[in-house]
Amino acid sequence: MVLGHIGAIITVAIWGGSFVSTKVLLDNGMNPAEIYVYRFFLAYILVLFMSHKRLWANSVRDELLFALCGITGGSIYFLAENTALEYTLTTNVSLLTSTSPLITSLLVGLIYKSERPSRGMLIGSFIAFMGVGCVIFNSSFNLQIRPLGDILSILAAFSWAVYSLVLRKLNVVYDLWFITRKTFFYGVITAVPFVLSEPLNNPAELMDNPAVVSNLLFLGIGASMIAYYFWAKIIKQVGAVKANNYMYLQSIFTLVISAIAIHERISIVGIFGCCMILGGLWLGDRLSQTWRKQG
């Protein structure tokens, strides 16, 4: 169980760094859909070496669940999130997509009686969410309402919550590498139409750029192949609600990595937000344990 929590922190740290890598690729002329497909196609090819003997799931129903994983945890999540950035402020997107743990808690409470979030966890999650807001407003307090971008951001958060719940169901039956491979396959297939709808970069020119190659390798190997495998394992060990609460830490890692790699400024507000996130996660766990003993 302890290893599961450590693994969750490492995985979220990798995903926090992926925002910086994606920003570098965008600055080098790649579009969001193109980055997503290159990243997950590379991951899919690598995962084939780990899981290639079995082609299909046990039933049509399970195959459709794998397709749902690929759509909600892959194409819809990333395309909605990246497209939202074109219509609203980055602060809005970051804050709204960070509602994923809260949405996951509510969905689990509605579906699974055995894993309903405790009052302590909900209180801690709320405090951590407020901390996320402080981290996101680290460099700007300018929050504007732009409906289309904000709706897409909420769609991305809801999509990730659904992915986590479907993953919980598949984890019981299937090997983790098989789950990861199927997720990448359907994620890439469903994103191809979006890629073809925009002008593409010359692959040869992209491969001549060390910054593009290194960041695509990080996104494909670290943030996709390794991180998604561990996330499936983590949800199996600690549950969807507890695992998704670690997503609050993503903004902290993004803040720190951005300061180191691309020299973005960290303000007092950002530091205060980091403390609120860590404090909220700690308080939620402590309250849950205390009330469980009293009950």
Mean pLDDT of 260-272: 72
What token pair was written down for 143? 């929050």
Asked, for residue 269, whether it belongs to a domain, the answer is no
- pLDDT of amino acid 236: 85
- Assigned domain for 294 exists: no
With a cut of 80, say whether residue 241 has pLDDT above it. no
In a domain, 64, yes or no: yes
Residue 121 within a domain: no
- Identify whether 174 is part of a domain: yes
pTM exceeds cut of 0.95 = no
What pLDDT is stored for residue 285 in this prediction?
A: 67
Residue 145 has pLDDT above 80, yes or no: no
Q: What is the mean pLDDT of residues 178-201?
A: 90
**In angstroms, how far is CA 53 from the centroid of its own chain?**
28
Give the pLDDT of residue 257: 80
Q: Which residue has the higher pLDDT, 212 or 105?
A: 212
Longest dimension (CA), the chain: 64
Distance CA 36, CA 41 (A): 8
- The total of structural domains in the chain comes to 1
Average pLDDT value for residue range 33-53 = 92
The amino acid at 278: L
In a domain, 212, yes or no: yes
Q: Which domain holds residue 75?
A: 2-101+144-249
pLDDT tens for 60-104 read 999 999 999 999 999 999 888 877 766 765 556 666 777 787 788
C-alpha closest to that of 11 among 231, 289, 252: 231
The answer to whether residue 287 sits within a structural domain is no
User: Who's near 188: CB < 8 A, 6+ residues apart?
Assistant: 37, 40, 41, 44, 70, 74, 75
On whether residue 71 sits in a domain, the answer given is yes
